[in-house]
């Protein structure tokens, strides 16, 4: 199986914490759409005929595209690829783009799953993040989407902001649990270099992330989500049984995927490549029938480290058999490095599979670093 990711690099306004590639000018939208279609055609053999179990439109803000524009993209993908029955077809959407009319139109496309960038139900929080939507829209769009038959929903939430105390975080979680949202992606606020938030923190105009608050709210999340019947299947992702995201799982299980659009990444089992993160350069290259990307052939060490980093973060863990297949010397290294974490209870071993314990999930990145070669 394989997946296709399409990056739609436009947003209405810049969220203060965001370091993704996007432009707030929509002037090049039509030209970009043509370029995306050209890239899908040029890259038709990248996945070597593997059937698609996931198509994911991310960004940026793909919900800025009309249903007709989205249909143009699907048409060419379906012409060139085999899409399996019940493939997961996800659109990332922002609350302010979702109304009865747009949702009705989206239902006429192959999209069968929405990933909604709610982030918070608190007005103060949304203002701090400079989101384009308000608290009323955050709540209303979920009900509208459910009403229009989009039952397969994922909601993004952010915790650890200086404008959110534990009570508000509890209230945010309560809202999504009460609405029985099948999938949640919950991220801790991070101050990425060269973002507006980074600038504000450096100027003393915004507080830095309080690590204690962030860890406490993450622990609250783990506990509350478990109580509400969610599987914590990846560090930042929670799903009701049967609703694990196919798109995310493809990444974590090292399936091949093709990324289309400026800044999109692709992986074919042995190399990674990433498109230029510049709309004008991307469009120009495609208009000349060329692809603008950089490529890296992965070394055995990189493949091992990536496997450890992604595997450890998931419910599927790290499999000694797979580590051995990469290179038998990694097996010995892994076992030696893992010993201390087994002893202190941060890692759990079941036959050949190693997973993080609940306590270990709080230290995932540090443990992964210790297991790297």
Query: Please, what is the minimum distance in Å from the beta carbon of residue 347 to ligand SF4?
Result: 33
User: Which tokens in the block code for residue 336?
Assistant: 């030696």
Facing residues of 239 across strands? 183, 231
Query: Please, what is the minimum distance in Å from the beta carbon of residue 21 to ligand SF4?
Result: 8
SS3 string, 182-236, reads CEEEEEECCCCCCCHHHHHHHCCCCCCCCHHHHHHHHHHHHHHHHHCCCEEEECC
**CA-CA distance, 175 to 28, in Å (whole number)?**
38
**CA-CA distance, 195 to 294, in Å (whole number)?**
24
Ordered alpha helix ranges (H), 7-150: 29-42, 67-80, 100-106, 123-129, 135-147
- Strands 183-188 and 237-239, by their bridges, are antiparallel
Among the listed residues 56, 61, 55, 57, the one whose alpha carbon sits nearest the alpha carbon of residue 18: 61
Nearer to ligand SF4, 148 or 263 (CB): 263
Phi/psi zone of residue 165: left (φ > 0), alpha (ψ -120 to 50 degrees), beta? beta
Query: Please, what is the minimum distance in Å from the beta carbon of residue 236 to ligand SF4?
Result: 15
- Strands 347-350 and 318-319, by their bridges, are unpaired
**CA-CA distance, 73 to 37, in Å (whole number)?**
6
**CA-CA distance, 339 to 320, in Å (whole number)?**
14
Query: Please, what is the minimum distance in Å from the beta carbon of residue 159 to ligand SF4?
Result: 15
Query: Please, what is the minimum distance in Å from the beta carbon of residue 16 to ligand SF4?
Result: 9
Among the listed residues 247, 244, 267, 241, the one whose alpha carbon sits nearest the alpha carbon of residue 256: 267
Nearer to ligand SF4, 117 or 311 (CB): 117
Nearer to ligand SF4, 32 or 52 (CB): 32
Query: Please, what is the minimum distance in Å from the beta carbon of residue 7 to ligand SF4?
Result: 10
**CA-CA distance, 25 to 22, in Å (whole number)?**
9
Nearer to ligand SF4, 3 or 117 (CB): 117
Query: Please, what is the minimum distance in Å from the beta carbon of residue 19 to ligand SF4?
Result: 8
Query: Please, what is the minimum distance in Å from the beta carbon of residue 59 to ligand SF4?
Result: 5
Nearer to ligand SF4, 23 or 305 (CB): 23
Nearer to ligand SF4, 7 or 113 (CB): 7
Interacting residues of 92 by C-beta distance below 8 A, sequence separation 6+: 56, 57, 58, 59, 61, 62, 63, 114, 115, 116, 117
Nearer to ligand SF4, 14 or 342 (CB): 14
Q: Mapping DSSP to helix (H, G, I), strand (E, B) and coil, where does residue 113 land?
A: strand
Query: Please, what is the minimum distance in Å from the beta carbon of residue 157 to ligand SF4?
Result: 13
Nearer to ligand SF4, 113 or 133 (CB): 133
Q: With beta carbons less than 8 A apart as the criterion, state whether 73 and 33 touch.
A: yes
Query: Please, what is the minimum distance in Å from the beta carbon of residue 85 to ligand SF4?
Result: 31
Nearer to ligand SF4, 94 or 168 (CB): 94
Nearer to ligand SF4, 13 or 66 (CB): 13
Task: List contacts with ligand SF4 (CB under 6 A).
Answer: 11, 14-15, 18, 20, 22, 59-61, 94, 117
């Amino acid at each position: 199986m394989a997946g296709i990711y399409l990056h739609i690099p436009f947003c209405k306004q810049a969220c203060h914490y965001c370091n993704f590639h996007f432009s707030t000018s929509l002037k090049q939208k039509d030209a970009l759409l043509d370029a995306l279609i050209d890239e899908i055609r040029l890259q038709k053999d990248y996945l070597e005929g593997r059937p698609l179990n996931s198509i994911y439109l991310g960004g940026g803000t793909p919900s800025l595209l009309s249903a007709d524009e989205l249909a143009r993209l699907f048409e060419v993908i379906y012409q060139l690829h085999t899409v399996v029955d019940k493939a997961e077809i996800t659109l990332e959407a922002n609350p302010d783009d979702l109304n009865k009319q747009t949702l009705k139109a989206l239902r006429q496309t192959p999209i069968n799953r929405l990933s909604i960038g709610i982030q918070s139900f608190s007005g103060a929080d949304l203002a701090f993040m400079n989101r384009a939507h308000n608290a009323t829209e955050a709540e209303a769009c979920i009900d509208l989407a459910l009403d229009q038959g989009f039952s397969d929903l994922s909601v993004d939430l952010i915790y650890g902001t200086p404008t959110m105390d534990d009570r508000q975080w509890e209230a945010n979680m309560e809202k999504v649990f009460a609405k029985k949202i099948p999938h949640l992606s919950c991220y801790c606020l991070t101050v990425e270099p060269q973002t507006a938030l980074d600038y504000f923190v450096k100027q003393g105009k915004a507080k830095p992330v309080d690590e204690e608050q962030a860890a406490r709210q993450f622990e609250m999340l783990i506990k509350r989500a478990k109580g509400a019947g969610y599987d914590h299947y990846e560090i930042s992702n929670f799903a009701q049984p049967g609703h694990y995201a196919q798109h995310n799982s493809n990444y974590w299980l090292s399936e091949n995927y093709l990324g289309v659009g400026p800044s999109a990444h692709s992986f074919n089992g042995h190399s990674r490549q990433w498109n230029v993160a510049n709309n004008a350069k991307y469009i120009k290259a495609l208009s000349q029938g060329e692809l603008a990307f950089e490529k890296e052939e992965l070394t055995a060490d990189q493949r091992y480290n990536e496997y450890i980093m992604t595997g450890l973060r998931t419910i599927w863990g790290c499999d000694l058999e797979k580590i051995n297949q990469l290179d038998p010397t990694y097996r010995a290294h892994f076992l030696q490095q893992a010993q201390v974490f087994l002893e202190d209870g941060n890692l759990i071993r079941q036959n050949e599979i190693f997973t993080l314990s609940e306590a270990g999930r709080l230290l995932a990145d540090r443990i992964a670093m210790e297991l790297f070669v």
